[in-house]
Amino acid sequence: MQRPDWAPDNVDIERPSVARMYDYYLGGSHNFAVDREAAQAVISVVPDAPLMAQANRAFLRRAVQFLVDAGIRQFLDIGSGIPTVGNLHEIAQRAAPESRVVYVDSDPVAVAHSREILAGNDQTVVIQEDFRRPEQILSHPELRKLLDFAEPVAVLVVAVLHFVPEEDDPDAALRTIRGALAPGSFLVLSQASDDGRSETEQTEARRVYRRTDSPLTPRSRTRLTELFDGFDLVEPGVVWVPQWRPDSPDGLDDAERAVFLGGVGRLGA
């Protein structure tokens, strides 16, 4: 296919990217034909895939508003993806203009577009790094210039962990991040779960994502809860994302359709 003007030269446009597929699910425009084809393959076996992405984005919005209301003004969003309407900095800085945000993503397309959108916003930066390299994230000079780890920070790892296999030891990465945080900091996690999904849906979704740069590793509610080790879970704990402090009771009867589980934890003294 012809390379769009907005695609960096070093980006493989022939292989699906999970960041660009997610952008497609959310109705964004920063995706290629190969991403749309892979996303449609997922939708053919998991018709709720766009609903899942949208439910997760709504969870992000409510979690960030909760954090702002709790007094948090520093945010570290790891695996932030391609910017679309309703990104973290828009939510936080609309409510508290002094909020400072660092976006981290390993996808060069996501990083390139984040930098373009964030040009002129000196309260927000984006760096290219991977969740599996927490030391490099935490020591990055642009992050250290913007965030003060002597004060509380909210770390968000939203819709990312299902692309981190167990052999990459997500527990260790989160322990490293937790060790850098001041008391009163928060951790926000969400990820796809196979709880309640049919064997066919699980098998087909994994098969499609094996074609991408990030194969799928769903986790159970119990396993995701374990990843909050060292944090005190905020009510209502780890739940289907529509159930986390919803704006209204609508749609909660079949909240498991969202497939994403999520929660927020606070680091005590």
pLDDT 10s digits, 79-128: 998 877 678 999 999 999 999 999 999 888 788 878 877 888 899 999 99
Structure tokens at 123: 């309260």
Q: Are 62 and 248 in contact (CB under 8 A)?
A: no
> So what's the pLDDT on residue 105?
94
Helix (H) or strand (E) holding 239: strand 239-240
Beta bridge partners of residue 192, listed in sequence order: 260
Residue 113's SS3 state is helix
pLDDT on residue 62: 97
* Of 230, 242, 223, residue with least CA distance to 266: 230
Q: Which residues of the chain have pLDDT under 70?
A: 1-13, 85, 196-214, 251
Distance of CA 244 to the CA centre of its chain: 16
CA distances from 37 to 27, 46, 149, 214 (A): 14, 14, 42, 16
Amino acid at 11: V
Q: What is the value of pTM for the model shown? A: 0.87
Q: Which amino acid is at 72?
A: I
| Fold topology of 52-197+217-266 | Rossmann fold (3.40.50)
Gap between the Cα atoms of 243 and 220, Å rounded: 16
Q: What is the pLDDT of residue 216?
A: 79
Helix (H) / strand (E) containing 54 = helix 49-69
pLDDT reported for residue 79: 93
Closest CA to 138 of 92, 179, 89, 183: 179
The pLDDT value given to residue 81: 86
pLDDT of residue 29: 79
Report pLDDT for 12: 63
